[in-house]
Amino acid sequence: MEKKKLITGIVTGIVGLALVGTVAYLYVNLDNQKKENKAMQELAELDKKEMENEYQQFATQYSEMKTQISNDSIIAQLTAEQEKTERLLKELKDTKSNDAREIARLKRELATVRAVLRSYVIEIDSLNRLNQNLTAENSRIKGQYNEATRQIEGLNSERASLSEKVAIAAQLDATGISMQLKNKKGKKTDKTSKCKTVQVNFTIAKNVTASNGTKTFYVRITSPSGTTLSGGGTFNYQNRSLEATMRKAVEYDGRETTISTFWNVSQSLMAGTYQVSVFADGNMIGSRSFSFK
């Protein structure tokens, strides 16, 4: 009888210890999940705010351009594009930052708005150049030197304003972002435990208004726990210094360019969702999340 009680006591103790261990594991796991969710939410809020700022900038640029031309047809087109931009801005403001599908749709719309604005900047700049040449020629023929001088000064002022708008239109776009885990044989794997190298690929879209030359692209990978995979140095973004996972200097000539970056695993990777963001010229030019086992 006493032996039976002893066995029962031992079993009860083992079960109790198992329950205590399970509770402790669940508590630690819940705390890590909260940290992960907070980090991803902060990055999503930052991304959404930057998108709102860009939409507002583009709407303002359309409004300003309408005051610098007299072509009724182009003014009507600019008005339509401005109204579309303001509508998309309102949709973005009404969208929660954790609505990934809607945010992705509005980010694609933002890229379209930027491309359309770019085309109008180029078109209006060409019209202004043509007007300047015609005005100068007409002035020489009629001998109205003073009037021609005032018109040329006005066009120079408009061109200076348009140069500021070209800077906005010249912002690069990173598309087709992908993240792959490679094992020690260099083959693709979905398991973080077997990962030895992380490869991130992306394509810089064609941009004829962007300045040519050597550009440094920074890739920042945030782990499920909210920490940044380090190794790529630091860069400036919105008046603060951020840590990069990888960086690569590329000679950019305005044409579509595909870029690959690699990061050798120097720390244990956990399963979960990783956020990949690409930066260049002080701007976030693309972002996407990936989940691994």
Residue 70 pLDDT greater than 60, yes or no: yes
Q: Are the CB atoms for 252 and 215 separated by under 8 Å?
A: yes
Mean pLDDT of 192-204: 94
Residue 31 to residue 67: CA distance in whole angstroms: 55
Listed by start position, the domains of the chain span 51-169, 172-292
pLDDT, residue 219, reads 96
Q: How confident is the model at residue 100 (pLDDT cuts 50, 70, 90)?
A: confident
pLDDT, residue 123, reads 80
Residue 11 pLDDT greater than 70, yes or no: no
Residue 162 pLDDT greater than 70, yes or no: no
Written as six digits, the tokens of 167 are 């800077």
SS3 252: strand
pLDDT, residue 69, reads 78
Mean pLDDT of 219-236: 92
Q: Are the CB atoms for 204 and 259 separated by under 8 Å?
A: yes
Give me the CATH topology for the region 172-292.
Answer: Immunoglobulin-like (2.60.40)
pLDDT, residue 144, reads 67
Written as six digits, the tokens of 255 are 């044409």
| pLDDT-wise least confident of 40-49, 87-96, 218-227, 230-239 | 40-49
Q: How confident is the model at residue 6 (pLDDT cuts 50, 70, 90)?
A: low
- Which position has the higher pLDDT, 135 or 271? 271
pLDDT > 90: percent of the chain: 31
Q: Is the dihedral of CA 152, 155, 159, 160 positive or negative?
A: positive
pLDDT, residue 195, reads 92
| pLDDT-wise least confident of 24-28, 115-119, 239-243 | 24-28
Residue 37 pLDDT greater than 60, yes or no: no
State residue 238 phi and psi, 5-degree precision: 50, 55
Residue in 195, 184, 191 with CA at minimum distance from that of residue 229 = 195
Mean pLDDT of 225-233: 91
Residue 37 to residue 60: CA distance in whole angstroms: 35
Residue 28 pLDDT greater than 70, yes or no: no
SS3 231: coil
Residue 166 pLDDT greater than 70, yes or no: no
Long-range pairs, 83-90, Cβ under 8 A, ≥24: 84/113, 85/55, 85/58, 85/59, 85/113, 86/55, 86/59, 88/55, 88/113, 89/52, 89/55, 89/56, 89/59
pLDDT, residue 64, reads 86
Query: CB-side exposure of 70: number of CA atoms within 13 Å?
Result: 3
pLDDT, residue 241, reads 93
The amino acid occupying position 126 is: S
- Which position has the higher pLDDT, 50 or 218? 218
DSSP state, 138? H
- Which position has the higher pLDDT, 117 or 164? 117
pLDDT, residue 66, reads 85
